[in-house]
Structure formats: C-alpha cells, structure tokens
Chains A and B, each alone.
Chain A
Amino acid sequence: MAQQPVISVRNLTRNYQLGEVTVRALRGVSFDVQPGEFISITGPSGSGKSTFMHLIGCLDKPTSGEYFLDGKDVAKASKDELALVRNQKIGFVFQGFNLLKRTTALDNVELPLLYNPKSGLKAADRHKKAMEVLAAVKMSDRHHHLPNQLSGGQQQRVAIARALVTNPSILLADEPTGALDTRTSVEVMGIFQRLNKELGITVMVITHEMDIAEYGTRFVRFRDGKVVVDQAITKRRNAEDELAALPPPEVDPEPAGAHAGGH
C-alpha cells in the first residue's frame, strides 16, 4: 500500500511509577495502521492493550518511542495540543457509553463540535452535522430522546455518532459491546462494519471476546506489553448476515416511556 499510514508507532514504551516499583506496561511496540483497516485488539488484562489504546487515543504520553498520527508527530505534544488532536482526529467509543445525563441525543452528539476551537460552526451547522451522523447510525428519529429513554444499543449508537461528528481519522472503541447483550452486540458491530466498509472509516476495537474480534480485518494480540500476534482475519464474521439469521427479539428493546418525553 502506497498510502500514508493513519497510525505509525515505533518502539513505543510506557512505564508507570508505583511507589518504588516501575511497572513496564508497554515494552516497545511498533505498529502501523493503514486507512480503512478494521483492527481488533485483544489480550488478557495487564497485557498492555489498554495502555496502548490510551497512547493511540492521545489520552496519555509514551515514556519513549515515536507516534505519528496522520503523519504528525504527537509523541511529544503538549496537553493542549493533545486535546486538539483528540477533538479532531480521534473518535472514542466507550464500554459505558458516557453520554451526558439529561441531555438529548442531538446535544450529546454536538458536544465535540463545541470544543473545536477553530471550526466556529454556527448552531444550525452543528445541528446539521450532528443529524447527518445520527442518520449514519440510524438514530435520526430519536435525536430528541434523553439517554435514559434509549436502550443500551441505542445509547451506544448515539455514542458512535458523537465519535464520528468531527470526521476523525480513526474510531477507537474500548470494549464497545461489554455492556450489551448478544443481539445488541452484533447490531453495534454491524454498525462498525458498515461505517468501515461504506465510509472507509478506520476502526480499532479493543475486546477480550474472541468472537467480537472476528468482525475485524486484522487481529492483534497483546501479552506482557508486547504485540505477540498480528495477522489478517481470514474467516471474517459478517454482522449483517448474522443479524438476519438471528431470531427476532423476544421483547421490544425499546424501554417503556421512550415516547413519553422527547417531542
């Protein structure tokens, strides 16, 4: 591939000081991510996968090593510069959704745009952009709902829309299905697959479940702060087909009162 990698890290290390003891969470990781890849990262707890994720997400700075994001060296960026990078180049999806309480889906999705210091988007433009990404996750009809009026899967879709709203270079998802049941998990992974395929968005999913990992195109396994497996996924799962094969949901996934508020 002649394309410039989205992410390029070289000999990345991260040490923590716990009292007298130095914990070497990451012990030299070199890694490239090409645009359009769907990477599944797994590993037992303490393997360094979360630390790696935090470094890739610019929430943390490496002890040593190089990190180029979209060709830009961010390993030694200042705190404010990192905040800007997080705002514009990275979309986070969390296990616990982390939507703001008592705030509509639309307002939640717009939030990253408010922290964009140079966009200067008008309120109308922000709404338009947020509605676009809500449509991309098929949530536009629920844009006025509050998080507690949405099911877990719907909340996670709003969270994905929020991650997408700034057109990031990469979508980072940390255990995105950890709080969801099987069917909803497949739904959410289907959204990631669709965004990856149709819009060419680069996705990196951290999970400890092997079957979730199999929705990706590339499989990476961490152990003791190092990459021990890095291979293409040959037997890739397709969420859309699986969803069609699954029996229809027994109960309405929409919680009671979803229509009580909102409009």
Chain B
Amino acid sequence: MSIFMTLRIALKALGRNKMRTALTMLGMIIGVAAVIAMVALGSGAQAQIEEQIKQSGTNLIMVMPGNFSSGGVRMGGGNAVTLKTEDATALRDVPGVQYVSATTQTRVQVVAGNQNWSTNVQGVDVDFPNIRLWTVKFGSWFGDQDVRGASKVIVLGSSVANTLFGEGVDPTGQIIRVKNQPFTVVGVMGPKGQSSTGQDQDDTAFAPYTTIMKKLSGNQNIGGISVSTASADDVLEATEKVKQVLRERHKIGPGMEDDFTARTLEDMAATRTEMTRTMTSLLASIAGVSLLVGGIGIMNIMLVSVTERTREIGLRLAIGARGRDVLLQFLVEAVVISMFGGGIGIGLGYGLSWAVRTFMEWPALVPLNSVFVAVGFAAIVGVFFGFYPARKAASLDPIEALRFE
C-alpha cells in the first residue's frame, strides 16, 4: 500500500473520532506552543541585551581597580592597587584609543528650592559624552577649564532634572545644592532609558571628576577609567595595550596578576547573555515536559484506538494486509496527530509571543530554528509514542482479532 493511501486512511480514521483527535492534538498544541513561546521570551531578552550593547557602543573598554578574576585575593602591598588620574592621562596616548575619561562616583542628596532627590553623581571627564554616545538636551557639557579648576558645575540626568525642576523645564543656570555646596546647572542630558538590568540610566548627574574628588568625596583615587576606541575593530587590540600600559605604570612584573580589570562592554554583556541563555534553556525544557506529556497522551489514545479497532485490524489482516501495513497505518495516525498538533502549536506559539510583545512590552522573538526544532520534536514524539501501539496492532493474531468482541 502506498504511503499516500496510508495517509488517506489515517486521515479518515482520525476524522471518525474528531473530538478525541482534537483533544489528543491539544496536548501537542500546548506543548509546542509552550516551547516556542518560552524560547521567544528568552531570545527576546537576549536580543535586547545585544541591542543595548550596540547602543552603548561596542568600542568601550572599562578599567576598574582591583582584579575581580583573582578570586578576591589581592596582591601584596607595595604594588599600586588603585587607579590614579595619571593612569587615565597615560591611556590617552595608547594607539587606537580615541577618548578617555576618568570616572568616580558618590551618592549625594541634591536640593533645588523645596525639592530634593538622592542620586548618584558621576565624576567624569570632558570626553565622557563622546564615549557613551550621549547627547546634551539643554545647555551644554562642561569644558576643560571646569575639570582643571574643579568648578562646581553639574549636568543633570533627565530624571533628576524632571524631579527637581519639573518635566520639560530648562534648568540651565540654576543653582542647586549638593552636600550643602552650591553647584551651577550647566546642562541636562537627553533621556537614555532603562539599562539591561532595569536601572534608570537617567537618574544620575555629572560633574568634573576633579570636583567630586576634591569637593564631595575627598577620594585621592579615581573609581575607574572609561576608554573608547575609534572603531569596534580596534577594541580587542586596544584592550591589550591598555593593560600593558597600566601594568608598566603599576610596576607589575611578568607572571604577576593585574591589580586592575580591563574589560570590553561586550565581555560584560556576554556574561549576562549567558545567564539569559541558561534561563531560556531552563524555560524551554520545562515547556518540553508538556510536549512529552502530549506524546504520552498520543500513546494513550492510540492504545485505546488499537483495542477498539481490533476487529478492523483482524479484517485488514484477513484480506491481505501485512503486519507492516497495519504498523504503518497506526504509526502514520500518531504522526499525523503530532504533526498537525505541532503545526497549530507553532501558530499558537507565534500568537502568544505576539501577545507578550504587544501587551507586556517584552521583546519576545521567535527564532526560526526553534520552529524547526519544535516540529522535528513533534514528529519524533509521534513516531516514538506511536510505535508501541502500532506494533501492538501489527502483531495481533488475525484469528483472535476477528473473534474480538
């Protein structure tokens, strides 16, 4: 019997029990839809992280004091374990490096009139907006003299400006009090939105790092150095050179570990992407369990069907069906259920992802390969769970089967 005929017979048999077929399919539909929706959620989160990295610049190198990778064990005394402003200055001459900014930060209460707000004031250099690709909305960024003279000027993040002065108001020229010292607002940054970890990147303010160190925190050392290269292609090479320069400056001999950490933003994001990916696989495997349960449902129904149709099987054997014809017939029925269910499940999965994207504003994304995997898996489930009932049907004794009541 041709496979086409077998398929037609299977469709006919399934059509005779529409309700049962539909309910059995439902198991597969839910399973496949769950897998696709879960993978979509995970991939969406991953894509969002990647997008954010692209936006914040793939040419960034962050230098932090201390070595996070040495398991918390610091090197012995005598070595420079902190970053100094001179380190930042030295990095300007590294080939490939375009912009450098020393960074430091302190958490302070800012007061304007009767409004006050606790925020993170970042001490940075003139080139900081160029590094972060961040533009000023009102007023302007501070200049070189402000950094050299440790002027009390401040550029507000848009959230802080909105809180202190109200939405859309240009506060340039106003005086605000930071730790009881008067600072002149020279600008407001454009909105940047949430970071990939969910923080409001606009809840911040910027002042020259010299001002922070001398007037606010009193720190002698800087908190870090932000470096950007002219192009993303240079970033790995430049990172190596930055490390080399800092090792020389900190007199770290060969074989000794760095007392600082220089990482590209991509490195840092990779860790988080990895986490998201783990989460995605976890969700997908949980959804996969429902696919498995759907498969067991198919096996259950096929076993019932074989028992119910024992006489039919007996008749088919009597008129010349071979064992393999009967086996194929029932196997095809199982695969048809699982494939049809899988197909509808894909549609439902897409629908769910769309709903999540639209109503929950989560960037759910259905990767094409997850569709193929789901369909393939559905087919395998059909064959796997259909085989046992089909073999049971094929191995029936025609005499016994014909006598079956």
Contacts and interface: CB of A to CB of B under 8 A. Distances in A.
A122 B265 CA distance: 68
Most-contacted residue by chain A among B311, B312, B319 (CB, 10 A): B319
B383 interface: no
Interface stretch (A84-92, A127-135, A213-221): A84-92
Most-contacted residue by chain A among B16, B317, B318, B398 (CB, 10 A): B318
Interface in B199-244: none
Interface of A: 54, 57, 59-60, 79-80, 83-84, 86-88, 92, 94, 96, 98, 100-103, 111-112, 114-117, 162, 166
Contacts of B323: 79-80, 83
Contacts of A79: 322-323
B399 A60 contact: yes
B122 to A, nearest CB: 77
B5 interface: yes
B404 to A, nearest CB: 11
B321 interface: yes
A83 B322 contact: yes
B272 interface: no
B150 interface: no
A83 B12 contact: no
A46 B371 CA distance: 60
Most-contacted residue by chain A among B312, B317, B322, B323 (CB, 10 A): B322
B316 interface: yes
Contacts of A86: 317-320
A41 to B, nearest CB: 17
Contact of A114 (B5, B312, B398): B5
B16 A111 contact: no
Nearest to B400: A59
Nearest to B318: A92
B318 A115 contact: no
B94 interface: no
Interface in B172-209: none
Given A59-B398, A98-B402, A115 B316 contact: yes
Interface in B296-326: 311-312, 314-323, 325
Given A101-B16, A162-B319, A115 B325 contact: yes
B1 interface: yes
A83 B399 contact: no
A112 B316 CA distance: 8
Contact of B320 (A96, A98, A116): A116
A111 B399 contact: no
B320 A84 contact: yes
B399 A54 contact: yes
A162 B399 CA distance: 19
Given A84-B322, A88-B320, A115-B321, 13 more contacts: A54-B399, A57-B318, A59-B399, A83-B321, A83-B322, A83-B323, A86-B318, A86-B319, A98-B315, A101-B16, A114-B1, A115-B320, A115-B325
Nearest to B5: A114
Given A98-B315, A101-B16, A103-B12, A80 B322 contact: yes
